[in-house]
């Protein structure tokens, strides 16, 4: 296609948005409403997913080392663990440090335990292990239990399994809802665009009778669909991005991050995600709606 | 004479079972002016539509300029249509485009250069005597003027054939004659004209070849014919 022709298609698309202003308005509104819903949902789901990831990632495996193990045997055990699959990191925590952490976590009641520092320390040395996939921590823990010089392995048995189960269900529900919402909005938008094109089938018919190729007829509609989707994405994007920024600032301001041990997606990152996905979804739906509607009238 | 359009044993049955055309054989030479007459539902429109391949015959061959258009691939059809100007009873102008844009449209879709478009559109608007209304919109023109614009659009690309389906059907006698005058002029310039019509007065006064179709068959084909039905 010549550049001049592409320019013509662009101009035609913009002109026709103006000429069919009411129809364009209807289509853009449909995109706006649908993407507002999708965007809100996406924001909530992305945050839930991030929180779920944070919770999952907080799962770690504590390996308490048998007190009789010599440093060389501890090293051997460490190497043995490192050779397992799915190990992300392994940190050695000597008993002194373990006790310090424990005392710290006890707060005001810690005095009793302070006397245990030194030779009286009842705690064993331990390894703290993180796995590449939190769900593997159960398998990893079971494997480590079999090793020599391992006194005990703790990973929050029972609790961790339930946590993963709940998180999985929440994620799946979210995916199903988002897909459902996208599906309905695709139809809502595509049908509105279809109406605008039905109103203009004469134009397509005349183009075809004047010897226009199908590609030539399609191009302006392609660009128009793209623009409708793009314009429709602007308002939901702005509304949600600004709204999210406010909520995020409030969340930070109230210091909920540290009470709840969870972090929301920072508003700048969210703005990027939203901008990218809403514009992409809008444009794709616009193009799809307009292309499927034109196809019917090209058969002349 | 050079044969431009030739139909060989052409049949057309529609999906609903209606037999619109039943074994037509005809040839039309380059530069001819032909009226297609016959009662309503006799197959005139189908005959016209098959020439620019809006309809494809169920059987038979249609040769235009030596090419069998029934065998054209789908993507080759636009290039056939560029050789055939089509005029309709209801004009089929785009209401939201100006007169100039409506005519230019036919050249834009075949990707003519902007300079050529300007030149050719003004030339053809001059031919139909509507150059001064180039900036008007169709609804600001009379029926006759609208049809003249539609004709301008059909010939702006200089096609060897113009086909017209009842082009004067929606017009009063005066406007109908002004349209016929334009067709005559186009024909004198060497363009072949094939026109389905119900207008007895025109056919009888502007004497040309007349092909009469009844029940999908050619019942009469006179070099200098008459309408032959009650008006």
* CATH code of A76's domain: 3.30.70.3040
Residue A98 Cα distances to A76, A91, A157, B126, angstroms? 21, 12, 21, 98
A141 and A272 in a common domain:
no
Nearest CA to CA, how far is B149 from chain A (Å)? 14
Note whether residue A212 is domain-resident. yes
How large is the ipTM? 0.85
A196 and A174 in a common domain:
yes
Per-residue pLDDT at B1:
59
A143 and A69 in a common domain:
yes
A120 and A242 in a common domain:
no
Residue where a domain stops, chosen among A106, A138, A155:
A155
Using H for helix, E for strand and C for coil, what is the string for chain A? CCHHHHHHHHHHHHHHHHHCHHHHHHHHHHHHHHHHHHHHHHHHHHHHHHHHHHHHHCCCEEEEECCCCCHHHHHHHHHHHHCCCCEEEEEEECHHHHHHHHHHHHHHHHHHHHCCCCCCCCCCCEEEEEECCHHHHHHHHHHHHCCCCEEEEECCCCHHHHHHHHHHHHHHHHHHHHHHHHHHHHHHHHHHHHHHHHCCHHHHHHHHHCCCCHHHHHHHHHHHHHHHHHHHHHHHHHHHHHHHHHHHHHHHHCCHHHHHCCCCCCHHHHHHHHHHHHHHHHHHHHHHHHHHHHHHHCCC
Q: How far apart are CA A215 and CA A151, in angstroms?
A: 73
- Residue A126: CB partners within 8 Å, gap ≥ 6? A62, A63, A64, A65, A92, A93, A95, A98
Of B81, B94, B114, the CB nearest to A211: B81
Identify the closest residue of chain B to A214 by CA–CA distance.
Answer: B75
CB atoms within 10 A of CB A61: 25
Cα(first)–Cα(last) distance of chain B, in Å?
A: 33
Q: Answer whether A120's CB lies under 8 Å from A45's CB.
A: no
A172 and A49 in a common domain:
yes
Q: Answer whether B76's CB lies under 8 Å from B56's CB.
A: no
Of A8, A206, A213, the CB nearest to B94: A206
A52 and A194 in a common domain:
yes
Per-residue pLDDT at A47:
86
CB atoms within 10 A of CB A177: 13
A239 and A219 in a common domain:
yes
Q: Do B110 and A210 touch (CB under 8 A)?
A: yes
Per-residue pLDDT at B36:
95
What pLDDT, in 10s, does the model give residues A198-257? 777 888 888 888 888 988 888 888 998 899 889 999 999 999 999 999 998 888 888 777
Note whether residue A217 is domain-resident. yes
CB-CB neighbors (< 8 A) of A6 in chain B: none
Phi, psi (rounded to 5 degrees) for A48: -60, -40
A69 and A50 in a common domain:
no
Q: Do A216 and B82 touch (CB under 8 A)?
A: no
A66 and A47 in a common domain:
no
Cα dihedral angle (A216, A220, A222, A223), rounded to 10 degrees? 140
Please state the separation of Cα B228 from the chain's center in Å: 21
Q: Answer whether B168's CB lies under 8 Å from B180's CB.
A: yes
Q: Which residues pair with B85 in a beta bridge?
A: B162
Note whether residue A238 is domain-resident. yes
Residue where a domain stops, chosen among A130, A155, A180:
A155
Note whether residue A41 is domain-resident. yes
Note whether residue A258 is domain-resident. yes
Phi, psi (rounded to 5 degrees) for A97: -70, -40
Note whether residue A300 is domain-resident. no
Whose tokens are 């609790």? That residue is A159
Domain region containing A282 = 3-56+162-295
A175 and A46 in a common domain:
yes
A45 and A72 in a common domain:
no
CB-CB neighbors (< 8 A) of B54 in chain A: 209, 300
Residue where a domain stops, chosen among A155, A174, A199:
A155
Indicate the number of domains in chain A: 2
Nearest CA to CA, how far is A19 from chain B (Å)? 7
Whose tokens are 């363009």? That residue is B191
Nearest to A146 by CA among A86, A200, A81: A81
Each residue's pLDDT, cut to its tens digit, for chain B (231 residues) gives 577 899 999 999 999 989 999 999 999 999 999 999 999 989 999 999 999 999 999 999 999 988 999 999 988 999 999 999 999 989 999 888 899 999 998 998 888 888 999 999 999 999 999 999 999 999 999 999 999 999 999 999 999 999 999 999 989 999 999 999 999 999 999 999 999 999 999 999 999 999 999 999 999 999 998 998 887
Q: How far apart are CA B227 and CA B26, in angstroms?
A: 18
Identify the closest residue of chain B to A300 by CA–CA distance.
Answer: B54
Q: Answer whether A295's CB lies under 8 Å from A217's CB.
A: no
Note whether residue A248 is domain-resident. yes
Q: Report mean pLDDT in 10-residue bins for chain A, 300 residues.
A: 81 84 86 88 85 79 84 83 84 82 73 71 84 82 84 78 82 86 80 78 87 89 89 92 91 76 84 89 87 83
Q: How far apart are CA B193 and CA B195, in angstroms?
A: 6
Q: Considering the entire predicted model, what is its pTM?
A: 0.71
Q: How far apart are CA A272 and CA A84, in angstroms?
A: 38
A227 and A192 in a common domain:
yes
């Amino acid at each position: 296609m010549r550049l001049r022709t592409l320019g013509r298609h662009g101009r035609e698309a913009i002109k026709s948005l103006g000429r069919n202003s009411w129809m364009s308005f209807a289509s853009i509104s449909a995109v706006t409403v649908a993407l507002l819903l999708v965007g809100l949902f996406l924001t909530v789901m992305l945050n839930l997913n991030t929180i779920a990831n944070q919770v999952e990632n907080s799962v770690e495996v504590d390996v308490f080392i048998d007190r009789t193990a010599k440093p060389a045997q501890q090293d051997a055990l460490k190497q043995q663990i490192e050779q397992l699959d799915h190990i992300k990191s392994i940190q050695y925590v000597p008993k002194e440090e373990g006790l310090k952490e424990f005392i710290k976590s006890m707060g005001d009641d810690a005095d009793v335990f302070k006397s245990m520092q030194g030779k009286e320390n009842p705690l064993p040395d331990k390894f703290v292990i993180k796995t590449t996939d939190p769900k593997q921590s159960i398998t990893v823990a079971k494997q480590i239990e079999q090793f020599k010089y391992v006194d005990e392995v703790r990973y929050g048995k029972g609790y961790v399994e339930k946590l993963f189960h709940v998180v999985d269900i929440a994620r799946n529900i979210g995916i199903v809802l988002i897909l459902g919402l996208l599906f309905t909005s695709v139809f809502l938008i595509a049908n509105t665009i279809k109406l605008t094109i039905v109103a203009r089938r004469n134009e397509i018919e005349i183009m075809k009778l004047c010897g226009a190729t199908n590609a030539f007829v399609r191009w302006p509609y392609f660009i128009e669909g793209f623009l409708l989707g793009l314009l429709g994405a602007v308002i939901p994007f702005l509304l949600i991005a600004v709204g999210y920024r406010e909520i995020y600032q409030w969340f930070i301001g109230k210091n909920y991050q540290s009470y709840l041990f969870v972090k929301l997606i920072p508003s700048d990152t969210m703005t990027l995600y939203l901008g990218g996905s809403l514009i992409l979804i809008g444009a794709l739906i616009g193009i799809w709606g307009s292309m499927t509607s034109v196809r019917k009238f090209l058969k002349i | 004479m050079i044969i431009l359009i030739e139909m060989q044993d052409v049949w057309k049955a529609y999906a609903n079972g209606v037999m619109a055309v039943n074994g037509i054989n005809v040839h039309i030479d380059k530069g001819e002016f032909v009226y297609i007459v016959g009662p309503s539902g006799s197959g005139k429109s189908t005959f016209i539509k098959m020439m620019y391949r809006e309809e494809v015959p169920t059987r038979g061959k249609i040769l235009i300029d030596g090419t069998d258009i029934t065998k054209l691939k789908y993507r080759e059809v636009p290039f056939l249509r560029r050789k055939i100007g089509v005029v309709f009873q209801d004009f089929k102008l785009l209401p939201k485009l100006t007169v100039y844009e409506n005519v230019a449209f036919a050249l834009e879709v075949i990707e003519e250069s902007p300079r050529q478009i300007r030149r050719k559109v003004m030339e053809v608007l001059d031919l139909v005597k509507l150059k001064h209304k180039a900036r008007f919109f169709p609804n600001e023109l009379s029926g006759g003027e609208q049809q003249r614009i539609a004709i301008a659009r059909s010939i702006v690309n200089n096609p060897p054939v113009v086909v017209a389906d009842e082009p004067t059907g929606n017009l009063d006698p005066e406007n109908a004659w002004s349209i016929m005058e334009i067709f005559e002029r186009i024909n004198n310039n060497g363009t072949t004209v094939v026109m389905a019509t119900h207008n007895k007065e025109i056919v009888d006064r502007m004497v040309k070849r007349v092909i009469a179709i009844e029940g999908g068959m050619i019942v009469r084909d006179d070099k200098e014919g008459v309408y032959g039905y009650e008006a």
